[in-house]
Copies of this chain bind each other. A is one copy, B any other.
Amino acid sequence: MHAQHMAGHLIRRLHQVSSHVFATQTQAAGFKMTAVQFAAMDAIQSNPGADQAQIASLISYDRATIGGVIDRLEKKGLVAREVSASDRRAREVRLTPLGEKTYGPLLAVVQALQTDILSGLSEVEKEQFLSLAAKAMTPCDSNEPS
């Protein structure tokens, strides 16, 4: 069992736990939402009218996959797509009134569950972990504002 001690394996398990905590706690709060759907919604809320490729780039996501994610948000009535007047290839994405109304309470739930993802660590260790994780990601963060 060499794999257990490898970075890739540990990261896969962190991701597994993280996704599970997200799904469980958002569901308990009455939302049906995945972590990626929330990230997309968050990006759309901060950048209304951006096209799908821009949203994908903001959350480091693939152009070919974001379509499906936005499909599901659209199906829930949280976002709306509209063909851009200036570029008929592009779809401008915005939160619907329901999306706007949902975003605030949802954000509160999502912020609250973050501490549970690393429940095995103390507060200080969580800070250390997050700052190391953020640093590990910075080489590819060139296009992202804070």
Contact = CB atoms under 8 A, between A and B. Distances in A.
B121 A135 contact: yes
Interface residues of A, number: 58
Given A59-B3, A129-B133, A8 B117 contact: yes
Tell me the interface secondary structure of chain A in the complex: helix
A132 B3 CA distance: 17
A14 interface: yes
B2 A111 contact: yes
21 contacts: A1-B43, A1-B46, A2-B42, A3-B39, A3-B43, A3-B59, A4-B146, A5-B146, A6-B114, A7-B18, A10-B133, A10-B134, A12-B36, A13-B60, A13-B137, A14-B133, A14-B136, A15-B15, A121-B136, A129-B132, A132-B132
